[in-house]
Each structure stands twice: as C-alpha cells, then as structure tokens.
Structure 1
C-alpha cells in the first residue's frame, strides 16, 4: 500500500485527462512511445490495479503509479 505522504498531487487544469497524456504531463515518462510500452507491459497502475488502456479517463483523486512513484490526479 502506498504511504499517502509519498504521493505527489498533479493538477491537470480540468476535470479529466487520458492516462497516456497524464503520464507525460506528470513527467513520469517522456514520449508517447515510452508511454505505450509501459502501459502494454503492465508497468502502470491506476488506483492500485494494472491498467493497459492509454485512453482510460482519469478523474480527480485517481492514483497513478509507475516505477515506484505514485501521483494523484487533481483538477
């Protein structure tokens, strides 16, 4: 389980964002190719579960994990 003090909040400036976009926006990955590979390989979690959909809609409060880092979506 993730310690809440180790979660960074990332403000997206709106209500929703797609998972692939968020990974780049949050600085977790640099390119679309890296995003696609990480998601397909099952290296990305949303709310603690592996999610392989780049187009998944994220909402405020969702937790995204990658490479030992967890970030929370904020509007």
Structure 2
C-alpha cells in the first residue's frame, strides 16, 4: 500500500499515478486510465481528469494508493 500525502484540495488522477511512480509518463497514465486498468474507490473509472481527494483510494496493478 502506498500512502500519498496530499498538499492541496485534490490531485488529478493522472498526476497521482505519476507522483507515486506507478507509471513513468502522463501519456502512459492516460492510456491505463482509458483502458480501465485503474479503480477509484473500488470502481473502474475512465476519467483522466478525475480529482482525487483525501480519503480516496486508487488501485492499479495490485497496488493500492491511499490519499491522506
């Protein structure tokens, strides 16, 4: 599990995937989101500009990110 400390009100999903090192580029992040590889709070979510906030959980390739 990865615990990500949020410094503002939200972080876009694509930036979160990059910031945690689960993808290398923004382009790669966009691809995995549009292909349905990312779960947001337990549901597959295809929104690239999704605003992830404190208390949210994101899952990608057996990794769970908890935003605090």
Establish whether residue 29 from structure 1 lines up as the match of residue 19 from structure 2.
no
Q: Select the residue among 57, 60, 67 that pairs with 2:54.
A: 60
Query: Post-superposition, which runs of at least 4 consecutive aligned residues in structure 1 deviate over 6 A?
Result: none
**TM-score (norm. length: structure 1):** 0.84
Larger Rg: 1
SS of match in other structure, 1:33? helix
Question: For structure 2, which runs of at least 5 residues remain unmatched after alignment?
Answer: none
**TM-score (norm. length: structure 2):** 0.92
